[in-house]
Amino acid sequence: MEISGSMFIHNAIKNDYCIEAVAASFSDLCEEVIILDAESDDGTVDLLYEIAKKRNNIKIHTGAIWACERPGMGGYDRYAVLADKAKALTKHRTHFMIQADEVLHEDSVPIIHEALINNPRTSYSITRYNVFGSPDTYLRFDSKQLTGYEQPCNIRPQRLGDRDLVILGDAESIYPGHNPGALPLEACLFHYCHVRDPRKQLDRIIGIQDWFFSKTGSGGEVDKKVIDQQNTFGYFDARAWYPDDRCFIPIPKPHPKYALQWVKERRKQFKQIFGEA
């Protein structure tokens, strides 16, 4: 069955996205992978074209506006707007919505194809390991019981489904449709959002929160812990939110093959900053 994958990106280099690993992993699954750039100004577009030279099913599009929103939505749905624009450039009926810091584990490819053939549904959820605390641990699914904090990211997002399904909220999931299903646990995404370069991560979070509060007019402020980290030592430390070591669990399988080099480099960064591998 033919699958289209799509994602958007803004400043992958500045914000330390593992975009090369992401693109390669989905290129193995999808007949086409659409990457839509939204006003990157850090060399990302050149990097994307270099990635596309290596895989002929990756197609690069530019010209999307980064500061976008749906009228009346207060800016929260900017990511959904851009995800919809990327999806509109695809051609196959079956669609996988990708985020630019998620790498699909190679074990997932045959599982997904088998599910589409033998267990057809309008959409499918997939397990997502939110890599957190270190490049080799993830935030346990029941972490709220230990800390009171909600999961920062969905752990079973709906991502694969009919192309016409609406993209929700901040592009965490698609609308499940009338007959949703779940992919087996062996099919999974490794979400590297919270273990990118800790210095770049701090700037990225401040930028996201500044945008959200300025658009909503809610009077909110950037998380005080983030500001304290900026003023004190200049890098992001997840343990400020999840200080209990029990929140973090060793990842239960090897990192995706395309992410191995990126992970190796982040281990070095974490060891230099935090004094641990």
Q: Which two tokens stand for residue 26?
A: 């989905």
Q: Which two tokens stand for residue 17?
A: 């996205």
H helices of the chain, where?
19-27, 44-54, 78-87, 108-118, 144-147, 198-216, 224-232, 260-274
- The CATH number linked to 265 is 3.90.550
The secondary structure of residue 88, as a DSSP letter, is T
Q: What is the pLDDT along the chain (277 residues), one digit of tens a residue?
A: 799 999 999 999 999 999 999 999 999 999 999 999 999 999 999 999 999 999 999 999 999 998 776 665 555 577 889 999 999 999 999 999 999 999 999 999 999 999 999 999 999 999 999 999 899 999 888 766 777 766 777 899 999 999 999 998 778 899 999 999 999 999 999 999 889 999 888 888 888 777 666 554 444 567 888 889 989 989 989 888 887 788 889 999 999 999 999 999 999 999 999 886 5
Rounded CA-CA distance 13/72 in Å is 31
Task: Kindly report the pTM of this predicted structure.
Answer: 0.92
Q: Could you tell me if residue 24 is left (phi over 0), alpha (psi between -120 and 50 degrees) or otherwise beta?
A: alpha
Rounded CA-CA distance 218/110 in Å is 45
Q: Which domain holds residue 91?
A: 1-277
Rounded CA-CA distance 6/45 in Å is 16
Rounded CA-CA distance 79/8 in Å is 8
Edge to edge, what strands does the sheet with 127-130 contain?
102-104, 188-191, 127-130
Q: Number of structural domains, the chain?
A: 1
